[in-house]
Structure formats: C-alpha cells, structure tokens
Amino acid sequence: MKKIIAWILLFTAIFVIIISHQKSGLSEEIDPIINEQDTIVPIDTIVIDTTIMDTPIILGDSTVLTVYATMYHPVLGQCDASPDVTADQTKIPNIDSCSHLCWIAVSQDLLWFNDGPIRYGDTVYIEAGHKTGYYVVRDAMNRRFKKKIDFLESVGTEAYRYKKATLHINS
C-alpha cells in the first residue's frame, strides 16, 4: 500500500511540474501576440458555436432531400421520459430558452444506423422559410416518422410547419 501511495505522489509531482512548465512556455508565446493588438474583444463561445452564416456552403456532392419540417418543445408530452436530454445525450441547458441553440431532431430513417446519411453532431443546412440556416443534429424522432425534421424550440414558441423543406447534407 505504501508503494502505491509513493507512486501516486511521484506521478502527481511530475504532472504538476509538466503543467506549470507548459503554462509558462505558452504564456511567453501568447503575451507578445496579445500586446500587439490594439483591442481585445471578448468572444461568447456559445454564439460562435451556433452562429448562422450569411451564405450557405453547399458542396457539389452534397445530399439534398425534401423533408417535412415541424417544431417541438422539450417537454414530456412531446418527448420521452427525459425531455431535456437529446438522443445523443446532450443536455438542453434551459428548456425555456433553447431556440438559439439551432438544434434539430431527425426521423430515424435519416440516421446512419438505419442506412441514412446523417450522424448525431452533423451540421446541416435547411431551407425552410424563417428557419433557413445551419443546424446541428442532436435528437431523433419516433420511428413512425419518415423524411421529417423537428426544430428544437423554447417552451412557449408558437407552432409552425413546412411541408416542403430542403435539407442539405454535405458528404
């Protein structure tokens, strides 16, 4: 038991030395770059992760599907027993304010494990009226739905649907 504790202490000490050395080296490289800039603008990482681009980047070999698009709220009546957790196990931070996340659920026939072209975490471009933009696939729908997508919306958002939405999947 004493040998195990000695090894743990030794590895902890080595780890601390390595980390402190890396931080000081990184600081020496970054400080001149920061000091050269006139202003430093704080960046909100959530905005970066969910920013919708002005012009779509659609590759020539992308898969284009026409789908039925609706919206859903993350609540028990519209989801399973854990409505604030998506199919890929991502937790929705606030169900009352989640529209800005730009997440969608897709019908299971579109997912890779059913020979579809989409995987969880894929970013797709959707043309659907006021909802046109880039979205991340985070959730799946009940098996009964086919060629369908659902936009994740904050609780209280008024219902809408698009009978012919265009889904672009870059390969």
SS3 of 71-134: EECCCCCCCCCCCCECCCCCECCCCCCCHHHCEEEECHHHEHHHCCCECCCCEEEEECHHHCEE
Residues 15-34 have a mean pLDDT of 59
Please give the residue that has the higher pLDDT: either 126 or 31.
126
> What's the pLDDT score for residue 132?
94
- The pLDDT value given to residue 45: 42
Identity at 79, one-letter amino acid code = C
Least confident residue range of 24-33, 35-44, 82-91, 155-164: 35-44
- What does the pLDDT look like over 34-54, one tens digit per residue? 555 555 454 444 444 444 555
138 near 120, Cβ under 8 Å? yes
pLDDT at 161 over 50: yes
